[in-house]
Amino acid sequence: MLTPPDSAGPDTPASRAQAAAESVEALFAARAFGLPGTRLGRIAFPRPGGRGPAWHYWWQAHYLDALLDGHLRLRTRDPAGADAALRCAVRLARGIRLRNGVRWTNSYFDDMAWLALALQRLDGCLIDSGRRPRHGRARAALGAALRSAATPEFGGGVYWNTRRDFKNTPATAPAALFFARSGDRERAAELLAWLRRRLWDAESGLYLDGIQRTAEGEKLKRAVYTYNQGPVLGALTSLGDGHNLRQAESLIAAAQARLTTPEGSLRTHGSGDGGLFTGILARYLAEAALAPGLAPHAAGTARSLVEATAAALWEGHRSFGGARIFPSAPGAAAAPPVDLSTQLQALLVFEAEARIDRHQAGPALSSRGSHAGTRPEIITSHERDEKGVISDT
């Protein structure tokens, strides 16, 4: 039964993030095939009947990222909770591999880029916690797949999937970010240059969806999605030189001008795959807000976009059996059934807000970054029914 949100207790960015994390745990966490030592997120609550829902690999990658956000948030104030979140992340990585047919790769390069980024962070967090990294082979396999998709066709960029007829921002931008965090700055810069050359729209200041090969030639797909802007922003701030930071500042301004509601929060894209999109943008806006060298006005804009979106999503939540259900969009109804994607989106927004708040509270309380621990190296814009449905068991 849905009830109004409980107002007891402090209402802080950290408490919002913790409440959202506990709700995702309560409503969606499960074992892969029922096996101990594994974890997966069920993709809907209540769980659908019949043979079960499709396998959404990339949602699980963002679930892994969210667990690492929680680990970093809890490190200084709740070491036991931080350790528990890290252990859950290790189990989730194991569950993803098992559920994906005992392999890390699949047919979609955007999926693989997201998991490569999450595993990169996971191994870094393990090292920072005094443990050995576990996913070197996985990161190597995923990195090799991404390099294989970055070809000269279309003038550069990364293919979306193994059909190799579509290069797009959803694959190219997170791949660029992965390479930037892996120390391959030249490859990251080449991919960013291609995005700017082929998919940046000068009128809006935003990045378009992609370029498709057709019988008539190349076709530009002009759709604009919030999440495509996120990993571009992340890659620009990860490279961090003056040229890229100025582009990042321009992108933040464009997001504020073009991707917000009249109330000032970020637009969202409904449920399904789109239910994750704005949470991804919020993650990288938070990174940008804390990036050294970014102009103060741009950092302030990034911060205000995250905070306004968090406030709007929190205001719309409802309690359900002790857990919380968050709306897919500010002002939308918050009631089951709900997708894992929309609840992860809210969690990513609250974790982004909490990270900004930790930094403002003082460097000692702030994590070293939402990609903390990348030392080991030392979503899509489409519903994916065509990927092939693998039923949950």
Q: What is the pLDDT of residues 61-85, one digit of tens each?
A: 999 999 999 999 999 999 999 999 9
| Structural domains counted in the chain | 1
Q: Is residue 381 in a domain?
A: no
What strands, in cross-sheet order, belong to the sheet with 318-320? 2-3, 318-320, 323-325
**Does this model's pTM top 0.85?**
yes
Give the chain's length. Answer: 393
Q: Which phi and psi angles does 301 have, rounded to 5°?
A: -65, -45
Q: Is residue 14 in a domain?
A: yes
Degrees, nearest 5: CA angle 22-27-31: 100
Q: Is 36 or 393 the better-scoring residue by pLDDT?
A: 36
Which of these, 303, 282, 291, 269, lies nearest to 230 by C-alpha position?
282
d(CA 334, CA 328): 7
d(CA 311, CA 194): 36
Q: Is residue 251 in a domain?
A: yes
pLDDT for the residue 38: 97
Range of weakest confidence among 50-59, 169-178, 267-276: 50-59
d(CA 48, CA 44): 7
Q: Is 221 exposed, middle or buried (0-12, 13-18, 19+ CB in 10 A)?
A: middle
- Three-state SS string over 90-126 comes to HHHHHHHHHHCCCCCCCCEHHHHHHHHHHHHHHHHHH
d(CA 390, CA 90): 23
Quote the percentage of the chain above a pLDDT of 90: 83
Average pLDDT, the chain: 90
Give the mean model confidence (pLDDT) for residues 107-114.
98
Answer for the pair 133, 127: CB distance below 8 angstroms, yes or no: yes
d(CA 296, CA 292): 10
Distances (CA, A) of 330 to 65, 132, 260, 264: 23, 41, 11, 10
What CATH number has the domain bearing residue 316? Answer: 1.50.10.20
Answer for the pair 294, 237: CB distance below 8 angstroms, yes or no: yes
- Could you tell me the residue range of the domain that residue 179 belongs to? 9-360
Question: Residue 323's pLDDT band (boundaries 50, 70, 90)?
Answer: very high
Give the mean model confidence (pLDDT) for residues 27-54.
87
Q: Is residue 376 in a domain?
A: no
Q: Is residue 393 in a domain?
A: no
Which of these, 27, 18, 15, lies nearest to 321 by C-alpha position?
27
Q: Is residue 366 in a domain?
A: no
Q: Is residue 111 in a domain?
A: yes
Which tens digit of pLDDT belongs to each residue from 226-258?
Answer: 999 999 999 999 999 999 999 999 999 999 999
Q: Is residue 48 in a domain?
A: yes
Neighbours of 318 (CB within 10 A): 18
Which tens digit of pLDDT belongs to each residue from 122-149?
Answer: 999 999 999 999 999 999 999 999 999 9
Task: Mention every residue, 6+ apart, whose C-beta is less than 8 A from residue 20.
Answer: 324, 326, 343, 346, 347, 350, 351
Bridge partner list, 206: 201
